[in-house]
Amino acid sequence: MLLCASLLILVAGSGQFAAVPKPVISLHPPWTTVFFGKTVRLTCKGFHSYEPKETKWYQKYYTGKAEETETSGNTLEVHKSGEFRCQIPGSPASDPVQLSFSRGPLILQAPHSVFEGDTLLLRCQTNGKEKLSSVKYKWNGNLLYNSSNSMDFSIPRASLNNSGNYQCIGSYGKNHVLKSNKKIIKIQERFPHPKLNATAFQPTEGSSVNLSCETHLHPERLDTPLHFIFFRDNGVILSGWNNSSELQIPILWKEDSGLYGCGIETVTHSVRKHSLLLHISVQRIPVSQVSMETQPPGGQAVEGETLVLVCSMAEGTGYTTFSWHRENMKESLGRKTERSQRAELEIPAIRASHAGGYYCTADNSYGPVHSEVVTINVREIPGNRSILVGLGAAGGLFSILPLLLSCWSWRKSGNDFQEAETK
């Protein structure tokens, strides 16, 4: 099921496959140029090495004769130069393979297909019994390698830049020099540069975003295991190298806005590519519908007891600065900055002189939004003061010291509170 889901696409309502990967042809021996009289076995492989029971071969020989052959297996033995394709039931024809059977004294042998990250192996072969004493390899007419020890030449971890025109020159004896055929080698992409996709490019604060790093492997390299990484600007790594092509960011805030990217590499580290950077701009929701309530409710306070002013908002994201005010007074009674839609200010011991109108504001960088004024009524209890005096006379001064200190925190002039700011 996983194989079908990843490789086959159904046409809606038709029940037929709209796209099936092409089969690929492998060679044994792996060279596209061999000496005349040799045999090359071609094998037609379906996706994920599926071996078909019946295979159709298309053969176009360089003599101009074209043939179509259907075999019971998936192999074909070739003895003549030409172009070859194969087709398995339900698939399109493969890409062509060109074979050359040479009668020359020296040939340059190269693999049929080389992908970035592979080792490109070149072999200089003679048709005679005499062995070469030295060999030179040229790339685009320039000397690439010269050796009297090894007749082969290899490029570990070939890149796209290694594509070009190759030739080998062999020497034996003093004056015998042989030149091989010229071979154009194109290094193929194992996978293109990835593309980073996001479920939202302008998410709101507090929401989640899913990132996906997308690419596709060449049909001949579908079995290549890959690792993925996600990052953002300034070198912040969001997820280290692992085998997951997706990443969920559970919560985003305004300060998370920036450029995001992803990378893909083979597990052997032979090929690594990065996506273009994608800008994600996190949107902040302005504060709205600010209200203030009291505990005890209704603005009914009892002298000497604690009163809590609760400031809340219906909407708004990010860090919000809450501020509490007494009506007709410029200075704030208290201020708190929190990543919340609600904050509290506690007045430890309310006095009768503190009765009046109060309101709060909330600001998350768009400007303060005011609540309606709430009237605080303070009910006096005469017995409270006589109790306090009695406790002091009985030597309980230290037991009421915290209460006295909390009362001293209120300003005497204007019956206002001392401002306390927290974050």
Euclidean distance between CA atoms 374 and 238, whole angstroms: 47
Q: Which of 175-179, 261-265, 316-320 has the lowest average pLDDT?
A: 175-179
Q: Which helix (H) or strand (E) holds 321?
A: strand 320-326
The mean pLDDT value of the chain amounts to 84
Report which of 79, 88, 37 is spatially closest to residue 58, judged by C-alpha positions: 88
Asked whether the beta carbons of 72 and 53 are under 8 A apart, the reply is: yes
Of residues 49, 40, 42, the one with CA closest to residue 86: 42
pTM of the entire structure?
A: 0.73
Q: Which two three-digit tokens encode residue 86? A: 């194969």
| First vs last C-alpha separation in the chain | 54
Tell me how far CA of residue 362 lies from CA of 289, 308, 418, in angstroms: 10, 17, 19
Choose between 214 and 45: higher pLDDT: 214
* Nearest to 124, CA basis, from 168, 179, 155: 168
Give the Cα separation of 38 and 81 in Å (integer). 11
Q: Where are the domains of the chain?
A: 24-188, 195-280, 288-422
Which CATH architecture describes the domain 288-422?
Answer: Sandwich (2.60)
Task: Identify the pLDDT of residue 150.
Answer: 84
pLDDT tens digits, one per residue of 251-265: 999 999 999 999 999
70: how many CB neighbours lie within 10 A of its CB?
A: 9
Residue-wise pLDDT tens digits, 85-127: 999 888 899 999 999 999 999 999 999 999 999 999 999 999 8
**Residue 51, CA atoms < 13 Å, CB-side half-sphere:** 7
- Give the phi and the psi of residue 414 in degrees, each rounded to 5: 75, 5
Q: What are phi and psi of 175, to 5 degrees?
A: -120, 15
How far is residue 311's CA from residue 363's CA, in Å, rounded to a whole number? Answer: 12
For 336-348, what is the mean pLDDT? 95
38-41 long-range contacts, CB within 8 A, separation 24+: 38/79, 38/101, 39/77, 39/78, 39/79, 40/77, 40/78, 40/79, 40/99, 41/75, 41/76, 41/77, 41/78
Q: Which of 52, 50, 99 is nearest to 74 (CA)?
A: 52
DSSP-assigned letters across all residues of 25-45: EEEES-BSEEETT--EEEEEE
Contact 102, 180 (CB under 8 A): no
Among 9-13, 52-56, 187-191, the least confident range = 9-13
CA distances from 408 to 94, 137, 350, 405 (A): 90, 93, 12, 5
Give tens-digit pLDDT for 138-168: 999 999 999 888 889 999 999 999 999 999 9
Calculate ∠ Cα 413-414-419, nearest 5°. 85
Spatial CA neighbour of 180 closest among 40, 34, 28, 39: 34
How far apart CA 235 and CA 130 sit, in angstroms, is 59
Amino acid occupying residue 296: P
According to the 3-state scheme, what is the secondary structure of 361-376?
EEECCCCCEECCCEEE
Fold annotation for 24-188: Immunoglobulin-like (2.60.40)
Q: Round the CA-based radius of gyration of the chain to a whole number and report it.
A: 40
Can you tell me the distance from the alpha carbon of 323 to that of 329, in angstroms, rounded to the nearest whole number?
A: 13
Peptide bond into 29 cis (omega under 30): yes
CB distance 225 to 196 below 8 Å: no
- Distance between CA 30 and CA 43 in Å, rounded? 11
Tell me: the pLDDT tens digits for 40-86?
A: 999 998 865 566 678 899 988 876 667 777 777 789 999 999 999 99
Q: Which CATH superfamily is domain 195-280 in?
A: Immunoglobulins (2.60.40.10)
Q: How far from chain centre, in Å, is Cα 337? A: 33
pLDDT digits (tens, 9 = 90+) for 368-419: 999 999 999 999 887 655 443 443 433 333 334 333 333 333 333 334 444 4
Greatest Cα pair distance in the chain: 126
Domain 288-422 in the same topology as domain 195-280: yes
Question: Residue 177 carries which side chain, given as an amino acid letter?
Answer: V
- What is the predicted pLDDT for the residue at 225? 95
Band of residue 246 on the pLDDT scale cut at 50, 70, 90: very high
